[in-house]
Structure 1
Amino acid sequence: MVVVEDLHRSYGRGAAAVHALRGVSFEVPRGELVALKGRSGSGKTTLLNLVGGLDEPDRGSVTVDGLDLAQLDEDGRLELRRDRVGFVFQSFGLIPILTAAENVGVPLRLRRTDPREREERVETLLGLVGLADHAEQRPGELSGGQQQRVAIARALANRPALLIADEPTGQLDAETGLAVMELLRAVVRAEHVTALVATHDTTLLGLADRVLELSDGGIVEH
């Protein structure tokens, strides 16, 4: 599903340059949940942004679901992010004035999905994340854990092949964070997606099929 080869990414120039990634290479088979661990500044977010088509490398290549991202123009990258990759962030990013169901349905509206099909998909996803009874509540009426569940459901709306999650439990307490990570593992199985999850919480790593450790911009452990 994901092939990363000799990936380099730096910010700034000269002596002040920050080398976020230094020759990172790895592969993620279809259907696996792979965790990225590493201290703050180790390159986890940079790597996720490159794999998700949100940024471009200085050198190296990223292939997602058979697509070489270097061959895509901006419209192609937009299509990739819309149709093949779902994103879950530490900040839930929900629209405050919309209900949980409406937030989940946003990606489907952007694709102009048939309203009946959209409603059925939203209902299915809210049931999958355990929020069927909270469809009409707005983000301000939900707990942090519930908001992150809505965000996960929204990320799955367009049936992506790859789910990218950057510190999805960062704003949650330990118990809620574990429940969200268990949910991510469950949806990987239920939706047959591949997931790449960055986390600094070592208690969550045991739920991953595989763990990659980043340090100073390189992978130090498989």
Structure 2
Amino acid sequence: MTRHQAADSTPTTTGATATSATATGPMVAVTDLRRSFGTGERTVHALRGISFSVGRGELTALKGRSGSGKTTLLNLVGGLDAPTGGSIALDGIDLGGLDEDGRLALRRERIGFVFQSFGLIPMLTAAENVGVPMRLRKVLPAEREERAHTLLALVGLADHANQRPGELSGGQQQRVAIARALANGPGLIIADEPTGQLDSETGRSIMELLRAVVRSEGVTVLVATHDPTLMELADRVIELHDGRIVEEDVEQAA
């Protein structure tokens, strides 16, 4: 058991469970992953042959300075970019064997994304923003509305469903973004610097929310962060430096 699996105050499960919840094997398996940009003397080696896996229901944090390869790695795992070499398996599916339509379907059905800049649509309410991924999957309006409100309650925003992003604080907007990431019941959430635009106290509350989501939804979270004070909330910390893994911290509960 990892150091956070025995924690309490778990929120109520929302109902839509990821299809991979009962599957076996790691949620993410990365093998000898490489990504280079440019050619010749201008070549930049963003990732230099890294390998690791992320277990199901685990919150793994990636740390490292700007330029260490964290965002490049998240983009590759999320199917937003293709590697120069090596392989990535997500929920047992080899991303290298998918065409663009296959990667799009994988992102839509199995991955939720949380960004530093929130990425909400200003003209839509919180509930409508949460409903966007379900609209893309053509979920019926009544079901979509019910799940959006359930997820907003999960992230502590039940009373803010009809407010637009401009009427919410930064922390509240990020909570809406987390609810949106959960909309289609993904097996994996990828979060790139989700607390980067928040003060330290609000940032910690967002990380605690992600921790609670891992417990309640059985979802796996892969998060990149610069903030060392947030590392204690992760099951595991992987440090990147110049595109290589230099340290892994898998601290066990006493």
CA distance in 2 between partners of 1:18 and 1:129 (Å): 40
Q: Which one has the bigger helix percentage? A: 1
1:82 maps onto 2:108 in alignment: yes
1:73 maps onto 2:102 in alignment: no
CA distance in 1 between partners of 2:183 and 2:83 (Å): 28
Choose the corresponding residue for 2:200, options 168, 174, 185.
174
Q: Could you tell me which runs of 5 or more consecutive residues in structure 1 were left unpaired when the two chains were aligned.
A: none
CA distance in 1 between partners of 2:132 and 2:203 (Å): 25
Letter in 1 for 2:81: D
Q: Aligned to 2:80, what secondary structure does the other structure show?
A: coil
CA distance in 1 between partners of 2:129 and 2:136 (Å): 12
Cα offset, 1:188, TM superposition: 1.1
Q: Output aligned runs, 1:77-156, within 5 Å.
A: 77-156=103-182
CA distance in 1 between partners of 2:140 and 2:218 (Å): 23
CA distance in 2 between partners of 1:103 and 1:190 (Å): 22
CA distance in 2 between partners of 1:13 and 1:151 (Å): 37
Q: Output aligned runs, 1:24-63, within 5 Å.
A: 24-63=50-89
Q: Aligned to 1:54, what secondary structure does the other structure show?
A: coil
Which residue of structure 1 lines up, in the alignment, with residue 90 of structure 2? 64
Q: Aligned to 1:154, what secondary structure does the other structure show?
A: helix
Letter in 1 for 2:239: E
Choose the corresponding residue for 2:186, options 157, 160, 171.
160
CA distance in 1 between partners of 2:92 and 2:110 (Å): 11
The 4+ residue runs of structure 1 with deviation greater than 3 A are: none
CA distance in 1 between partners of 2:118 and 2:228 (Å): 21
Cα shift readout 1:8-35 (whole Å, capped 9, x = no counterpart) = 0011111111110000100011110000
Which residue of structure 1 lines up, in the alignment, with residue 35 of structure 2? 9
CA distance in 1 between partners of 2:31 and 2:185 (Å): 26
Cα offset, 1:79, TM superposition: 0.2
Cα shift readout 1:103-146 (whole Å, capped 9, x = no counterpart) = 00011111111222111211110001000000000000000000
CA distance in 1 between partners of 2:142 and 2:34 (Å): 45
Letter in 1 for 2:40: G
Which residue of structure 2 lines up, in the alignment, with residue 208 of structure 1? 234
CA distance in 2 between partners of 1:117 and 1:191 (Å): 18
Cα shift readout 1:57-76 (whole Å, capped 9, x = no counterpart) = 00000000010000000000
1:197 maps onto 2:223 in alignment: yes
Which residue of structure 1 lines up, in the alignment, with residue 246 of structure 2? 220
Cα offset, 1:211, TM superposition: 0.3
Letter in 1 for 2:183: A
CA distance in 2 between partners of 1:149 and 1:14 (Å): 44
Cα offset, 1:172, TM superposition: 0.3
Query: TM-score, length-normalised on structure 2?
Result: 0.87
Which residue of structure 1 lines up, in the alignment, with residue 11 of structure 2? none
